[in-house]
Amino acid sequence: MPFKTMGLADPLVQGILATGYTAPTEIQSEAIPAVIAGKDIIACAQTGTGKTAAFVLPILNRIENVPQKAKKKKTRALIVTPTRELAVQIEKAIQGYGRFMDLKTIALYGGSRIDIQMRHLRKGMEIIAATPGRLLDLINRGSVNLSMVEILVLDEADRMLDMGFIEDIKKIIKILPVKRQTLLFSATMPAGVKKLAQTIQKSPKTIQIGRQHNPIETITQHIYPVPHIQKMEMLLHLFSKGEMYSVLIFSRTKRGADRICKRLNRGNIEAVAIHSDRTQSQRLRALDGFRRGQYRVMVATDIAARGINVEGISHVINFDVPGYAEDYVHRIGRTGRAEATGDAITFVSQDEVLNLKKIERFIECKFKPELLDDFNYNQKVDIHSSLPGQGKKSGRGGSKPGSSQRRRFKAKQGGKPKPKAGARPAKPKSGTGKPKPKTGARKAKSKTSAKKARPKSGAKRWSNKSGKNASRNKSK
Ligand code: AMP
């Protein structure tokens, strides 16, 4: 169904076309008519599928369809999102799609001056995109009036719960009108999100795009076993081939991100780091510079990078295997967005094998490790054997996987730690928990590899002791 026939107001259709979209994505086709019809929805879609427009467009449509004088100065839509970058990104999307409308919108997030936000709020904002902490702060100061909110969107609900925002969200929801539409978007649907949905929604329509957990189809995944001590060397080796143009590197720690960034800069590779120790303006500048191509590389931690939407990221590199399997899906989803292709490379040292296995179970696929012919390995990493105690600590000075998230969780949940490193609580288990070989596996050589010269070329395979085909099977 083209945008024109979805029941969207004319200025909005023009705004969409001016943005360059010709047809709705699957999530948009499913969600937009349902939201226009007034339904609550739970939308579970993989990252990069066009979720933002799926909730922004019907909100704008509703605002456009209300008589002019009734529009003024009322906050009619509230979008709650986990990170500052997402709040900014969503607000930009609203401005983009609504460029032919007369709109008052604002992004509210911490790390920036609250007095300025308060001043803007006094003018009356029709749509607010906010992070939970700053929003509550402004509510407590009496600067936000949410009594007229008609649509609430919880974006990246799974992440907000992981980040310990559940109590903040409950407080915010309590002050909203009971009669409202609630749209819940989440990349995954753990039990916590389902429970939240049950308490805040009315007969929601469930929309599931693609298979849960699975990295989107357009991403080619590579696993490079490498001794921990040689990771930086391997990174520089990959860059020396000159085949990676716009690269997002993930580091588990902030210090690690800074270290990688400095090393790349020393090697004349323009890189910038983004993590929670950087100020909001530094983060926005970094993101902007990366978007504009000023930096070829952005090095990020998970918290800072969630939901970041930058066009044309050719490669995601996991310098560290993420401690949480879900993070792997989110990380690599930064490439291959909106049906573009992309490569995701994960460095795996011996002490990270267990975390890799958790990812295999989570996405239900078996990775095929690749060895680079032209790289001088100091020692072999055997990804078929794991060391005792693996997955509990990273190989970097004992920092725990996802430690910053864990600290936050502890603080908000009265000191209760999550049960296990690498496993989120209440995450639905996949089948028997055993990696399942998939039918319809993609061949190692994808159309992406044909199009883009990737470091994978010249890669050789580890031989698998069992002799079984351990190829990178992409699930559907
Ligand atoms: P999102 O999942 O909302 O972060 O969107 C991922 C990417 O898809 C963004 O770069 C959007 O600009 C792009 N996008 C969203 N909707 C469409 C569409 N209908 N056609 C083409 N690109 C789109």
**CATH number for the domain that contains residue 13:** 3.40.50.300
Instruction: State the distance from the centre of ligand 1 to the C-alpha of 275, rounded, in angstroms.
Output: 24
Question: Higher model confidence: residue 335 or residue 368?
Answer: 368
pLDDT of residue 363: 82
DSSP 147: T
Q: Pick the closest to residue 359 from 180, 215, 193 (CA basis).
A: 215
Query: How many domains is the chain built from?
Result: 2
pLDDT of residue 428: 34
pLDDT of residue 211: 60
Q: What is the pLDDT of residues 229-288, one digit of tens each?
A: 999 999 999 999 877 888 999 999 999 999 999 999 999 999 999 988 888 888 888 988
Q: What is the pLDDT of residues 205-235, one digit of tens each?
A: 999 886 655 566 678 899 999 999 999 999 9
- Range of the structural domain that residue 350 is part of: 219-397
Q: Does the beta carbon of 309 lie inside 6 Å of ligand 1?
A: yes
Same domain membership, residue 265 and residue 159: no
Same domain membership, residue 383 and residue 323: yes
Q: What is the pLDDT of residues 433-444, one digit of tens each?
A: 333 333 333 333
Question: Are 41 and 205 in contact, with CB atoms under 8 Å apart?
Answer: yes
* pLDDT (mean) for 373-398: 62
Same domain membership, residue 377 and residue 294: yes
Q: Pick the closest to residue 199 from 162, 155, 154, 156 (CA basis).
A: 154
pLDDT of residue 209: 81
**Domain presence at residue 410:** no
Same domain membership, residue 198 and residue 264: no
Question: Higher model confidence: residue 310 or residue 295?
Answer: 295
Rounded distance between C-alpha atoms, residue 218 and residue 339, angstroms: 6
pLDDT of residue 445: 34
Question: Are 128 and 134 in contact, with CB atoms under 8 Å apart?
Answer: no
Q: Pick the closest to residue 438 from 189, 217, 209, 187 (CA basis).
A: 217
The tokens for 92 are 């930009």
Q: What is the pLDDT of residues 150-198, one digit of tens each?
A: 999 999 998 888 788 999 999 999 999 999 999 999 987 888 898 999 9
Rounded distance between C-alpha atoms, residue 283 and residue 277, angstroms: 9
* pLDDT (mean) for 95-109: 95
Instruction: State the distance from the centre of ligand 1 to the C-alpha of 48, rounded, in angstroms.
Output: 7
**Domain presence at residue 71:** yes
* pLDDT (mean) for 131-144: 96
**Domain presence at residue 428:** no
pLDDT classification of 291: cutoffs 50, 70, 90:
confident
Which atom of ligand 1 lies closest to the CA of 89? 4
Which of 154, 186, 209 terminates a domain? The answer is 209
Task: Quickly count: other Cβ atoms within 10 Å of residue 21's Cβ.
Answer: 17
**Domain presence at residue 454:** no
Question: Are 275 and 254 in contact, with CB atoms under 8 Å apart?
Answer: yes
Q: What is the pLDDT of residues 399-435, one digit of tens each?
A: 333 333 333 323 333 333 333 334 344 333 333 333 3
SS3 215: coil
pLDDT of residue 72: 65
Q: Does the beta carbon of 21 lie inside 6 Å of ligand 1?
A: yes
pLDDT of residue 442: 32
Nearest protein CA to atom 5 of ligand 1, as residue: 50
Which atom of ligand 1 lies closest to the CA of 311? 10
pLDDT of residue 80: 97
- Percent residues over pLDDT 70 in the chain: 75
Q: Does the beta carbon of 334 lie inside 6 Å of ligand 1?
A: no
pLDDT of residue 245: 83
Q: Does the beta carbon of 17 lie inside 6 Å of ligand 1?
A: no
Rounded distance between C-alpha atoms, residue 298 and residue 305, angstroms: 10
pLDDT classification of 383: cutoffs 50, 70, 90:
confident
Beta strands in 133-209 (DSSP E): 151-154, 181-186, 205-209
pLDDT of residue 403: 34
Which of 369, 397, 425 terminates a domain? The answer is 397
Nearest protein CA to atom 19 of ligand 1, as residue: 24
pLDDT of residue 433: 33
Torsion angle of the four alpha carbons 400, 405, 409, 412, in this order, in degrees rounded to the nearest 10: 130
List the beta bridge partners of residue 43. 185, 207
Same domain membership, residue 324 and residue 190: no
Same domain membership, residue 240 and residue 108: no
- Percent residues over pLDDT 90 in the chain: 50
Instruction: State the distance from the centre of ligand 1 to the C-alpha of 345, rounded, in angstroms.
Output: 23
**Domain presence at residue 341:** yes
pLDDT classification of 70: cutoffs 50, 70, 90:
low
Same domain membership, residue 383 and residue 238: yes
Same domain membership, residue 60 and residue 175: yes
Question: Higher model confidence: residue 378 or residue 470?
Answer: 378
The tokens for 288 are 């902007």
Rounded distance between C-alpha atoms, residue 42 and residue 39, angstroms: 10
**Domain presence at residue 214:** no
pLDDT of residue 399: 34
Same domain membership, residue 254 and residue 161: no
Task: Quickly count: other Cβ atoms within 10 Å of residue 286's Cβ.
Answer: 24
Question: Are 250 and 305 in contact, with CB atoms under 8 Å apart?
Answer: yes
392 pLDDT higher than 80: no
Instruction: State the distance from the centre of ligand 1 to the C-alpha of 458, rounded, in angstroms.
Output: 34
Q: Does the beta carbon of 52 lie inside 6 Å of ligand 1?
A: yes
How far is CA 383 from each of CA 148, 352, 397, rounded to the nearest angstrom?
Answer: 55, 9, 21
Rounded distance between C-alpha atoms, residue 254 and residue 426, angstroms: 27
Q: Does the beta carbon of 391 lie inside 6 Å of ligand 1?
A: no
**Domain presence at residue 409:** no
Q: Does the beta carbon of 49 lie inside 6 Å of ligand 1?
A: yes
Same domain membership, residue 261 and residue 132: no
Same domain membership, residue 364 and residue 226: yes
List the beta bridge partners of residue 224. 347
Question: Are 378 and 255 in contact, with CB atoms under 8 Å apart?
Answer: no
How high does pLDDT run on average in the chain?
79
Q: Does the beta carbon of 336 lie inside 6 Å of ligand 1?
A: no
**String of b and e for 112-131 (b: at least 16 CB within 10 Å)?**
beeeebeebbeeebbbbbbb
Which of 341, 373, 397 terminates a domain? The answer is 397
pLDDT classification of 457: cutoffs 50, 70, 90:
very low
Same domain membership, residue 236 and residue 145: no
The tokens for 236 are 């520089």
Q: Does the beta carbon of 48 lie inside 6 Å of ligand 1?
A: yes
Phi and psi, residue 338, nearest 5°: 45, 50
Instruction: State the distance from the centre of ligand 1 to the C-alpha of 317, rounded, in angstroms.
Output: 22
Question: Are 169 and 160 in contact, with CB atoms under 8 Å apart?
Answer: yes
Q: Does the beta carbon of 337 lie inside 6 Å of ligand 1?
A: yes
**Domain presence at residue 315:** yes
